Amino acid sequence: MDPLLGTCSLTELRQRKSFKWATYPPDVLPAFVAEMDFAVAEPITRAVTVALARGDTGYAHMGQLGEAFAQFASDRLGWQPDPARMFAIPDVMTGIAEVIEGITPPGAGIIVNPPIYPPFRFRFGFYRRHIIDAPLARDSAGRYRLDPDAIEAALARPDAAVYLLCSPHNPTGNVWSRADLEMVADACQRHKVALLVDEIHAPLVLRGARFVPFLSLDHELTRADSTFAFTSASKGWNIPGLKCGLAVAGSAVGARLLRQRWEALVASHLGILGSVAAFTEALPWLDAVLAQLDQNRVLLTRLLAEHLPGVGYAPPRASFLAWLDCRALGLGDNPAEVFREKGKVALSRGPDFGPQGHGFARLNIGTSPELIEEAVRRIASAL
């Protein structure tokens, strides 16, 4: 591995006290929650430790966050967002929930595309909103795509108020094309349904795929009052514990909504400092991660063919999550349970991603090749 990423020594990782490393006893190898195992990028460590040394631990100020992200978006994503439309948020899910609270009444339906990141399915219930499923379509090779008919049927429901698109998609690793995004935008516009786009995994789009930021499209809906995009350095640079994301409003009215709700959306000051360092100074680190993840997804193809030929896997085109079709193994709805109990390796539970996740499990490959090999060995030993 590139020295920038550290060694992923298991002894050192086990000293971490984060959710990934503290949830299970030491005999279980954690490969579930979306945290990576790489060493933190040095510019981020420096920004945070300098702040601590200065006693600079007060409330957040947006500082250079908007400009830093705008520069990153321009250099890497081909998009020139306006910092005046950007707002720091504590994390992407809180930003999405707050916007949904602001633009829909209780009882509103939120359209999602399962299999999907589990909090999309339960978080909005806290605010008396419910989920409307527009499942992804899946071909025989295990590749997923947006299903225009399912989307149309969901949008046509009278309770449909928001379409929450995950772009790139967790857990399938899809990177939606310009045509996909235009199809979604046209459909939302036709049905007068708000569009929120979660782009948290965008910095991790891998070689061979091209990410299109939704707000960079030349489409009327990108300027609508109820169109918002959400992003963060938290996945790309593995800093969810620093608590900082970004909401980008499509219009001045949307920006006003975010400004009015500032008190519900206060980010962590250290998170803002760390995120600025990530977007501006930690690009060599990001490139090292992208190269490693590209290798890891290929390695997993080889390891599965060798040790687990019954498992279906279409390599992700973005990020570090591998969505494994374990239905042929005959382990029931929740194979992750069997892997953890018998193989001592913890994957994410497929059914949490919706009914389409029955018989599936999600493996985190944001780690060293050695630990991926160990995870596969443990899964195989459970069978």
Which residues sit at the interface with ligand PLP, rule CB under 6 A?
34, 91-93, 117, 166, 170, 198, 200, 232, 234, 240, 245
Residue with Cβ nearer ligand PLP (160 or 318): 318
In this complex, which beta carbon is closest to ligand PLP, that of residue 20 or of residue 219? Answer: 20
According to DSSP, the residues that pair with 229 across neighbouring strands are 197, 248
Side-chain half-sphere exposure of 53, counting CA atoms within 13 A: 6
Shortest CB 329 distance to ligand PLP, Å: 25
- Given a contact cutoff of 8 angstroms between Cβ atoms, the answer to whether 340 and 333 are in contact is no
Nearer to ligand PLP, 169 or 331 (CB): 169
Q: Give the nearer residue to ligand PLP in terms of CB position, either 245 or 343.
A: 245
User: Please, where are the H alpha helices in the chain?
Assistant: 10-13, 19-22, 42-53, 65-72, 92-103, 119-122, 148-155, 178-191, 252-260, 269-281, 283-307, 335-343, 369-381
Q: Least Å distance between CB 116 and ligand PLP?
A: 8
Q: How far is the CB of 3 from ligand PLP (least distance, A)?
A: 26
What residues are paired with 102 via a beta bridge? none
The residue assigned the tokens 């786009």 is: 197
Residue 244 CB, nearest approach to ligand PLP (Å): 8
Q: Residue 113 or 331: which CB sits closer to ligand PLP?
A: 113
Cβ closest to ligand PLP, residue 181 vs residue 338: 181
CB of 57 to ligand PLP, least distance (A): 21
- Closest by alpha carbon to 322, among 354, 287, 367? 367
3-state helix/strand/coil string of 54-78: CCCCCCCCCCCHHHHHHHHHHHHHC
Q: Which amino acid belongs to residue 349?
A: R
**Nearest residue by C-beta to ligand PLP?**
91
CB 99 within 8 A of CB 258: yes
